[in-house]
Amino acid sequence: MDKVKECVVRPSTSLNLLSHKEIMTALETDEEVFQTFRNCALAVLNTGNEQDDATEILREFEDFRIEIIPESRGIKLRIQNAPATAFVDGKLIKGIQEHLFSALRDIVYTQDKIDRVGGFDITSGVGITDAVFRILRNAGVVQPNHPPKLIVCWGGHAISREEYDHSKRVGYELGLRGLDIATGCGIGAMKGPMKGAMIGHAKQKITRGRYVGITEPGIIASESPNPTVNELVIFPDIEKRLEAFVRLAHCIVVFPGGAGTAEEILYLLGLLMMKDNREITLPVIFSASETSDEYFVALDRFLRNTLGEEVARYYEIVIGDPVRVAQLCLRNLNRVVAQRRRTNESYAFNWKLHVPEDMQWPFISTHENMAALRLDPQLPVDKLIVQLRRAFSGIVAGNVKAYGIQQIARYGPFQINGDAQITAEMDRLLRSFVAKGRMKLNSDKYNPCYELLGVNSHDA
């Protein structure tokens, strides 16, 4: 791939005016934190790339360099050997420039607040929620005095063209109705709804449409921000990213995906099924094209057979009808408004949603941690969902995250133990993902990063 030898860029919005103390914070960044920023900066500059192997991207741009340079009024960045696709006639594309400084803000300055006494407290559930809110507020994503109209869209990056077009049509119908979009910011079913909504907004002469991309350092290299994203936030880990989604969302639409989408669904349903959240209104719609209905047939079966029939109360499946999906979202927003007014809750951030601490602590996908998971039907449903979500999170890490790929290359596949029925249901679901190419791009070469070891719970 062509590269630009060197350029220097200044912030246009985020971090465009800093105190001398704030400048020193950037210059004194810990080496590990700066390496994380460097990798995320490369992902941002690689916007539009359809490669989901983080190790390949890092290897291809091994000579990429980025340096923070202090000035009296703030900082600038010197970039070397960056992807040429990020430039037009030698100048960095403005949207990518903004994302670059968003990465600096969310990684370097957020980590400084975590590390410093008096900064973010991530040792308790309350502190983690506070940190999620403040990261969103600092990024300008939490906005007061706005009507609730942010639709979170989840779905896979490795999807067919027809599935992408379906997600784009749904986004278009949402945009025509003045609704904004938040996704994981990558390609596939994360890009489609944003592209569609952008066209719908344009037709309705809406000039301030919001396309919020929420990601985390471990996955951004394999899911680089798509060009439509105009508000980018990078959270420290997947758990804070998921909490941000559900606290921001006024409605959630899920498109077909792979293990990552299953992880998101399990996290969401785990919250909605909790007794403490029974009064929370957060509509969930599963949407697929007519030729992809098998995805939600398989997922619905998996959820019912592992979590019980009650789980189906918390989502509605709509096949092949983008207009109906958008109409349901709009209609459900009235319920959201009524519930938020009744409970005196903020429209911008759902503070009353209870997220238990075991769903907030970061799960590190090591072989030891994956082998220690308890997929036991005797567990309370909320505890079982935590274990299942972590299992899918580990599979995502082994598929596309640099750390996970390195772990698999060194030690072999993750071994996941559990009840025979649960692991059989997982195996059935994951095989359907593999058969449809949902686990990874270029899935004809897919080599599973996991082994499911079924154990009869009565003999365990």
pLDDT tens-digit series, residues 205-236: 999 999 999 999 888 877 788 889 999 999 99
Residues of the chain below pLDDT 70: 1, 14, 48-55, 117-118, 441-444, 455-460
Residue 364 and residue 264 in one domain: no
So what's the pLDDT on residue 457?
Answer: 42
- For residue 129, tell me if it sits in a domain: no
Residue 261's domain is classified under what CATH number? 3.40.50.450
So what's the pLDDT on residue 49?
Answer: 64
Q: Which amino acid is at 115?
A: D
So what's the pLDDT on residue 443?
Answer: 55
- For residue 86, tell me if it sits in a domain: yes
| Residue bearing tokens 């030698």 | 90
- Measured between its terminal Cα atoms, the distance across the chain in Å is 52
- For residue 460, tell me if it sits in a domain: no
Residue 212 and residue 335 in one domain: yes
Angle of helix 420-435 relative to helix 381-400, nearest 10 degrees? Answer: 40
Q: How many CB atoms lie within 10 A of CB 145?
A: 6
Residue 94 and residue 138 in one domain: no
Residue 329 and residue 374 in one domain: no
Asked which of 119, 153, 181 is the last residue of a domain, the reply is: 119
So what's the pLDDT on residue 228?
Answer: 93
Domain that holds residue 66: 3-119
So what's the pLDDT on residue 118?
Answer: 63
CB 317 within 8 A of CB 296: yes
- Report the predicted TM-score, pTM, of the whole model to 2 decimal places: 0.92
- For residue 172, tell me if it sits in a domain: yes
Residue 178 and residue 82 in one domain: no
91 phi and psi angles, rounded to 5 deg: -110, 135
Tokens of 431: 């095989």
Residue 333 and residue 366 in one domain: no
So what's the pLDDT on residue 354?
Answer: 96
Residue 307 and residue 363 in one domain: no
Residue 110 and residue 248 in one domain: no
Residue 155 and residue 209 in one domain: yes
- For residue 433, tell me if it sits in a domain: yes
Residue 200 and residue 324 in one domain: yes
- For residue 348, tell me if it sits in a domain: no
- For residue 347, tell me if it sits in a domain: no
So what's the pLDDT on residue 301?
Answer: 96
CB 14 within 8 A of CB 230: no
- For residue 150, tell me if it sits in a domain: yes
Q: Where are the alpha helices (DSSP H) in 293-380?
A: 293-307, 322-342, 367-371
Number of domains in the chain: 3
Beta carbons within 8 Å of 2's beta carbon, 6+ residues apart: 83, 84, 85
So what's the pLDDT on residue 416?
Answer: 94
Q: What is the pLDDT of residues 152-169, one digit of tens each?
A: 999 998 888 999 999 999
